[in-house]
Amino acid sequence: MESIMYYILFFILGTYMGSFYTVVGLRLPKNEPFILSRSKCDECKHTLSLFDMIPLLSYIFLKGRCRYCKSKIDILSTYIEFFTGLLFLVAYHSFGISVELLLAIGVVSLLVIIIVSDLTYLIIPDEVLVFFAIYFIIIQFILSGISGVLYHLAVGLFLFVIMYLIMIIGNKAFKKESMGGGDVKMMFLFGLVLDPLLGALTIFLGSLFALPISIGLYLSKNERVIPFGPFLLLGFAFIFFTKITSVDIIKWLGL
C-alpha cells in the first residue's frame, strides 16, 4: 500500500513539474521570465488562477478552452504533464528512494525541457545545459567523490570531441549545418552520467530513433528541419533507465 502511494505521489509531482518544464522550455529561449511571473492565456492575456493550472485536470474540466475567452488551449502542456508524470513514476520504480533517484529525475527534467524548446524553436538553451551540468556534477560527487567527478568530466570531454568531429564531417558532407551546437554541448552532459561506450551508443540510438522521420520527410520531399537533440535525449534516457552496462554491450558484440 505504501509503495502504491509513492507511485501516485511521484506521478502527481511529475505532472506539476512537467507543467513547469513546459513554461521553462517555451519562455527561456525568448528571454521571458518563468519563475515569478504569473501564467496568462495566450489569446486574451487574462492571468490564470490556480484552478486553471491543475495539471491534466484543468484541461479536462475546461474542455480544452480558456475559462475567460473560450479560445482553444494548446494541448502541448497537457501531453508534457502526462509524459513527465509517467517518467517520474518510472524513475521511482527503477531506483526507489535513493541518490540515484535524484540523478534519474535530473535526466527526466533535462529531457522534457529540451524536447519542448528544441521542438518549438530548434534551440537548446545554454542556461539549461549549464544548470544540469552543475546538477549532475554535484550528484556524481555525492555518489563517488572527487575521483568519480574527474572521471565523468573526462568522459564528457571525450563525448563532446566525438560529437564535434561528427558535426564537422556532416557539415562538409552535406555542405550545410548538419546539427546544432547545442547537440554537441549536450554530449558533455551525457558523459557526466554515462561511461564512454554508453555515451557513444546514445549517438547511434538517437540516429536510429530519428531515421524513420528523416526517411518520411525525404520521401515526401519535405525539407523541414528536424531537431536531433530530442532523439539523442531519448537514446540517453533509454540507456539510463534500462540500466544497460558497457559489459552487456561487449557481451552482445561477442568481444
What integer pLDDT is reported at residue 240 of this predicted model? 95
Q: Does residue 88 register a pLDDT over 80? A: yes
User: Is 171's pLDDT higher than 90?
Assistant: no
- pLDDT higher than 90, residue 86: yes
Counting every residue written for the chain, the total comes to 255
Cβ neighbours of 31 (radius 10 Å): 8
Same domain, 129 and 80: no
Q: Is residue 118 part of a domain?
A: no
* Euclidean distance between CA atoms 185 and 188, whole angstroms: 6
218 lies in the same domain as 134: yes
Same domain, 68 and 143: no
What's the pLDDT score for residue 247?
A: 82
- Assigned domain for 108 exists: no
Residues 78 and 153 in one domain: no
183 in the same domain as 75:
no
110 domain residue, yes or no: no
What confidence score (pLDDT) does residue 46 get? 65
Q: Does the residue 169 lie in any domain? A: yes
In a domain, 109, yes or no: no
pLDDT tier at 161 (50, 70, 90 boundaries)?
very high
Task: State the average pLDDT for the chain.
Answer: 87
Cα–Cα distances in angstroms (integers) from residue 104 to residues 98, 108, 201, 236, in the given order = 10, 6, 18, 11
Question: pTM of the full predicted structure?
Answer: 0.89
Check whether residue 202 and residue 84 sit in a common domain: no
Residue among 29, 190, 192, 229 at smallest CA distance from 125: 29
Residue 34 lies in a domain: yes
Question: For position 42, what pLDDT does the model report?
Answer: 66
Whether the predicted pLDDT of 37 surpasses 80: no
Residue-range definition of the domain harbouring residue 247: 125-255
Do 92 and 156 have their domain in common? no
Q: What is the pLDDT of residue 205?
A: 92
Residues 66, 130 within the same domain: no
pLDDT at 111 > cutoff 90: yes
pLDDT tens, position by position, 230-250: 999 999 999 999 998 888 888
Are residues 66 and 178 located together in one domain of the fold? no
Pull the grid cell for residue 190.
Answer: 551525457
Cβ contacts of 99 within 8 Å, gap of 6 or more: 139, 142, 143
Looking at the structure, do residues 81 and 132 belong to the same domain, yes or no? no
Instruction: Please say whether the beta carbons of 184 and 167 come within 8 A.
Output: yes
pLDDT at residue 141 in the model: 96
Q: Are residues 132 and 60 in the same domain?
A: no
80 and 43 together in one domain: yes
Residue 106 lies in a domain: no
**For a pLDDT cut of 90, what percent of the chain falls above it?**
53
Residue 52 CA to its chain's centroid (Å)? 25
Q: Per-residue pLDDT for 218 more than 70?
A: no
| pLDDT value of position 71 | 76
Q: Which of 204-243 are b and which e, b meaning 16 or more Cβ less than 10 Å from the residue's Cβ? A: ebbeebbeeeeeeeeeeeeeeeebbbbbbbbbbbebbbee
pLDDT, position 16: 93
Query: CA 208 to CA 137: how far, in whole Å?
Result: 29
**Count of domains forming the chain:** 2
- Asked if residue 239 belongs to a domain, the reply is yes
Q: What is the pLDDT of residues 129-160, one digit of tens each?
A: 999 999 999 999 999 999 999 999 999 999 99
